[in-house]
Structure 1
């Protein structure tokens, strides 16, 4: 038994339980208190860190535990920025990112160097190093952007891409200046730096996706997947350090490398964001606050002078870069606010530069005091700059992101579509439930969080307790899988002599628009390859039906191949089916290749004109020679075949041979058989669009 007298309450706190409890209470209270004042909680955590830190009330030391957790939080921010970016949009905006990256690097470098030499009277090397600190920035406001759901906005993609460019250049300047100052910048230095940077970037961007795909195909345990991702983040950061760069570049590239393996709607993505935003990132912000020393601002006029000049130069330069980017690419004022908010905060790379520069000793003065590359005034001024720029950045990013989020959510047509969308997932086999739910999450519209239903039908002739218990377990697994992505699934348990009748009854009762089903478990697909249940549902229902046979996790698929029969665009449900497929592009980031007639492809191109994503189109009319397509199928491809009921406009006799083709050539790949809604055949049948 631990007595109260045995607990150490002295300051700073040393008891690990008390320290962790205090930090958790601050993380909990900061958003609750500051939301009422409309102050970004990120800023609140920084201020809280200053209050409880060694330069405040000295409640908690910035010891190794805070530094370790804070380092993880910093890497997490950069990793999430690379992970959440829309890769197709990133490629599309790569030119814009390059322009912004050069704007936000060159302007601070020129302005900072001139001001440092002519106003602060620093040496050339010190001035260039100080200017590189202005050029770099940290995406400290990114959690605000992510929380408001605009991480795929063009302004965000441009800024995140530009961040990688300017931070890389700024950190290279740091490496070079330190090398020159210490007399190590010989020919070997330049060769070694160039080769190591190239090898590092190629290894992360080419090898990491291969390792990730190999792992996710074979390991499905949720905890193991998360630990693997965390390991890759730190591995990428470590490789960056080996290459002579800062760790944040490695974590960002790790995010880009794993981007397409972790879909936005997946449970794994939800866990990554949850742990980062709940623990690691708040620890980083608290750690930044603990560096702030208020006493330095009252004891040294030089510190205040240097700090004010640094704030003015850094803010003015970043605003100029954001303004030029807005004018160059004709962006909105709110997008400019987001760009400025994301790029104005100085923290990670700035701290790295000032600490390295402070520790570089060039010699000693007549009194024997060390002459540093960056003096104490710059060190303390940097802390003041971090506080002020993070404050400005948080308010600017929150204001711009809030306005953009409102504009995106007030799209009337999209809102109406989301309200009318109801997806049914009949489940029977526990092994395939997770993949069926994952496909449903990938094809659903963004704001559809309550329109999903999981259905398990029990034969009336087999209602023993064990059967009911197993059925409830299967439904619970579906609910849990969706809940891991903050999506609600309504579970339905039905008793009926006919499973097909039970499914069609639920379709009518719940006004289902789409249904995702699993194919039966036989190794080979028989002639009546859909099975009696699916055939019965097809005959009686009037919804878009997706019949899925997963061979690998959806997240590991590189390409989706979509085959469209001639005249499919004339079917009632064609547009809604293509819209569901287009959601795959946005939610998984995988490439999509459409095969079809010129008329069908023209309609698809028009539908996907404003949809971000990497798509390509191949003219294909030879359904009688279906095997032509299989020559293009690769190991990690997923095949989508749009089919028709026999009475449909786009039906062709060649569709009856598809089971044989799938059996012979497509056993190792996943595929989805799509049956769009078709014109009513029987009077009184209701069809949803």
Structure 2
């Protein structure tokens, strides 16, 4: 009995492993341990996973072989890398750098081919077709080290943006060359070949950028509550796009990257959905791909005679040197620093996905021999190691130089920012939490403070327990986007006073609250809650009415009254609007007077923002309803107001929330009250001011006397 058990156990662990559960457990163990074990000797985790693949692969200990399960997860990981690269591409930055991306794409394509072809043809002695194929392989690169720049928070840096843009250009060009060479080797190059390739490519682009974004927008809007369904929908788009690219005669990685670009505007970078996409990819799929790359490497080729060594060494040197020259040419052209050059070189030096695609197709069609295949595998190992080390070091230098993604946007004490969200209606909390997540400083270590104030009455204790239960449900939702929240409950006779007290207690820089509800007759007499909160706080306050998903908008329209630039909180709310625009990839239209326009342009230029902005002039700010002429049904409307007594305050802003709520019934609205200097208002007693109607009458009387005086 015991012998049977032992034999059964030994059989289960016989190499190569065949039990799918055991294989999966081994791979997960490697993903878990390799970064931990290699951290003391400062080897990047990516290299650790590739080396682990070499060790356990068929050419190492032979614990794992390239079976269908491993190949499936590897393919998913490869497509995931390309998809995330397209998804995280800052489209505003890309538009700014499209010419630079095109030039880098040209450099990183033409320089390696120019060096590679004569080396293969004259030195290694290959024919024209094999030499062109190998030379084009030098031009490709895979964003294997992209997770490193992502981890360091510089994925939206200009150098990264042009490298990603260049990647898709050069890889597309190489994969088209591959299709042409394959056709030429079979003697199929004719007019029909070119027509078929052109038509299929055009149809692919139309489906990806004409149809899929519309379907995705409809789905996200109609099936808003199904969060799991959103992720499954995204995966479906990725793999269907990869399949369509293959049908069109391109490589699947082009389809995955195109899927990322197609969904870019619909998945904000700080959203819960983006968090899920990155989490699952970085935890499972991408590590699987890196391990599978290592499993292909056969170190024993180096012992198969001098030819294999010469070919492997030559290919590796030419590949690295060509990419270094391309990065240097880019640096000299755009006057980048050395660390930026190294970042471009590190990202573009790794040869894996497209390289494997080119070589495997060439090998299977007998265009290249085994020496080139084995030499390419060695090239993949060395270039991935070099790329990882160079990218890691360059990323550290770029961060030390202060070039992180959010450096241009967040300006006002971003590392100390505190956001407070008072709960009024638990049913409206999810969109407000999503909005807060989008605009919150990525540098702030503090959690978002979610506050519930319970009235001090006979049911106070019971209400307090209920409030805590509601807060816990809210915390669960926030955890979906990995948002830390601080749950605060308090009892106060006056709810607005309690909210104001908690805002001071947590030293909130920003209070984000829901839209004021319909007021009762008593509240109209003694003062509305939202008005009382405004009067009792000094901090920037956002009132949000978000009834539709933010991704349904095509633009943001911001209405800025005269002298808003003179308010204390002007820079803060402007930075938050720019952050929101960048997250949603939407252009901003500012409606303001000429002086405010000039100040806005100056401030945005100082913030060095890549957000697309335009301006419309409006002078008659005493007539708020006249702003409706600038309204677009697809726009997110943001109105900048002011507290009574502040420099930009005017009578037309009085009770603005109530009027906007009635006038713009089917649109998302955000109303901003900028922060003000402390102690500029009476805390204990409300400031005694004439009501708006009397102030208006007095102003008109003044105008009559001025006219008589002038006459």
TM-score, normalised to structure 2, is 0.90
Decide whether aligned partners of structure 1 residues 633 and 528 sit closer, same or farther in structure 2, where only a CA change above 3 A counts.
farther
Q: Which residue of 1 aligns with 2:385?
A: 391
Match of 1:125 among 125, 129, 147: 129
Alignment of 1:390-429 (within 5 A): 390-408=384-402, 417-429=413-425
Counterpart CA distance in 2 for 1:279 and 1:629 is 51
Whole-angstrom CA distance in 2 between matches of 1:416 and 1:539: 23
Q: Which moved more, 1:548-557 or 1:192-201?
A: 548-557
Matches within 5 A, 1:235-246: 235-246=240-251
> Corresponding residue for 2:119?
115
Structure 2 match to 1:17? 21
**How far is 1:455 from its partner?**
0.4
Is 1:48 matched up with 2:42? no
Tell me how far 1:414 sits from its aligned partner.
Answer: 6.3
CA distance in 2, matches of 1:466, 1:667: 36
Rounded to whole Å, the distance in 2 between the matches of 1:272 and 1:249 is 19
Equivalence for 2:704 = none
Structure 1 residue 516, shift from structure 2 partner:
0.3
Asked whether the equivalents of residues 70 and 284 of structure 1 are also in contact (C-alpha less than 8 Å), the reply is yes
Out of 356, 372, 381, the position equivalent to 1:378 is 372
Instruction: Flag the 1:221–1:449 CA change in 2: closer, same or farther, 3 A.
Output: farther
Q: Distance in 1 between matches of 2:682 and 2:47?
A: 63
- Deviation sequence 1:12-36 (CA, Å, 0-9, x none): 1111222111111111111111121
Question: Cα gap change, 1:275/1:122 in structure 2, threshold over 3 Å: closer, same or farther?
Answer: same
After TM superposition, give the deviation of residue 465 of structure 1 in Å.
7.4
Provide structure 1 residue ranges, at least 5 long, that are not aligned to the other structure. 361-371
Q: CA deviation at 1:205?
A: 2.0
2:263 pairs with 1:258: yes
| CA apart distance, 1:599 | 1.3
Residues 136 and 529 of structure 1, relative CA distance in 2, 3 Å threshold: farther
User: Is the CA contact (8 Å cut-off) linking 1:519 and 1:530 kept in structure 2?
Assistant: no
Q: Which has more radius of gyration?
A: 2
Deviation of 1:3 after TM superposition, in Å, equals: 5.7
Per the alignment, residue 222 of structure 1 pairs with 227
Q: Is 2:268 the counterpart of 1:272?
A: no
Deviation at 1:193, TM superposition (A): 0.7
SS in structure 1 at match of 2:528: helix
**Partners of 1:10 and 1:492 in 2: how far apart?**
56
Q: 1:291, 1:525 → 2: CA distance?
A: 76
Q: CA deviation at 1:682?
A: 2.6
Relative to structure 1, the CA distance from residue 481 to residue 122 in structure 2 (aligned partners, 3 Å threshold; closer, same or farther) is same
Distance in 1 separating the partners of 2:538 and 2:70: 58
Displacement of 1:664 after TM fit? Answer: 5.2
1:62 to 52, 66, 71: 66
Equivalence map 1:303-382=2 (5 Å): 303-360=308-365, 372-382=366-376
Following the alignment from structure 2 to structure 1, what is the Cα–Cα distance between the partners of residues 527 and 257? 47
How far apart are residue 122 of structure 1 and its match? 1.1
Contact 1:358 1:379 in 2 (8 A): yes
Please give the per-residue CA displacement for 1:64-114, whole angstroms capped at 9, x wherever unaligned.
111110111001111111111211000000000000000000111111111
Task: Give the aligned partner of residue 93 of structure 1.
Answer: 97
Instruction: Please give the alpha-carbon distance, in whole angstroms, between the structure 2 residues aligned to 1:15 and 1:462.
Output: 64
Structure 2 counterpart of 1:363: none
Tell me what 2:644 maps to: 646
What residue in structure 2 maps to residue 300 of structure 1? 305
How far residue 658 of structure 1 moved from its aligned partner, in angstroms, is 4.6
**Corresponding residue to 1:36 among 26, 40, 46:** 40
- Report the CA distance between 1:141 and its aligned residue: 0.3
Asked if structure 2 preserves the Cα contact closer than 8 Å seen for 1:558 and 1:590, the reply is yes
Provide the rounded CA distance (Å) in 2 between the counterparts of 1:204 and 1:516.
37
Query: CA, structure 1 residues 659+535, in 2 after alignment: closer, same or farther (shift >3 Å)?
Result: closer
Q: Secondary structure at the match of 1:36?
A: coil
Count the aligned residue pairs. Answer: 674
Q: How far does residue 602 in structure 1 lie from its aligned partner after superposition?
A: 1.6
CA distance in 2, matches of 1:415, 1:602: 19
**565, 581, 587: which is aligned to 1:591?**
587
CA distance in 1, matches of 2:25, 2:544: 47
> So what's the TM-score if we normalise by structure 1?
0.93
Alignment of 1:682 onto 2:676: no
- Counterparts of 1:559-578 in structure 2, within 5 Å, are 559-578=555-574
1:683 CA drift (Å): 5.6
CA distance in 1, matches of 2:23, 2:48: 19
Where does 1:139-158 land on structure 2 (aligned, <5 Å)?
A: 139-158=143-162
- Aligned counterparts of 1:520 and 1:188: Cα–Cα separation in 2: 65
CA RMSD of aligned residues (A): 2.6
| 1:190 equivalent in structure 2 | 194
The 2-side partners of 1:445 and 1:391 are apart by 34
- Post-superposition offset of 1:554: 2.6
**Matches of 1:241 and 1:631, distance apart in 2:** 48
Map of 1:508 onto structure 2: 504
